Amino acid sequence: MSFGFGFGPHMCVGLFIAKAEIEVALNAMLDLMPDLRFDPAYPRPVIRGVQLRGPEGVHVVWTPQ
């Protein structure tokens, strides 16, 4: 869950549709970059935290078409 969508009895009613829309949009963007990969010049991202999880950055490379 995300604090932006609330939690428990105060959870946003649009949470699941928003997550589905994000998934569709992200997959559509990634389909345009089939050779997207982690940049070997940088270490892999590290996920830290318990509540607000996410890497500080993700270095990637791909070949524009």
The position carrying tokens 């009613």 is 13
Q: What is the pLDDT of residue 1?
A: 47
Look at residue 63 and tell me whether its pLDDT is greater than 60.
yes
20-56 per-position pLDDT tens digit: 999 999 999 999 999 999 999 999 988 887 777 788 8
Q: SS3 for 13?
A: coil
Look at residue 3 and tell me whether its pLDDT is greater than 80.
no
14-28 per-position pLDDT tens digit: 889 999 999 999 999
Phi, psi of 45 (to 5 degrees): -65, 150
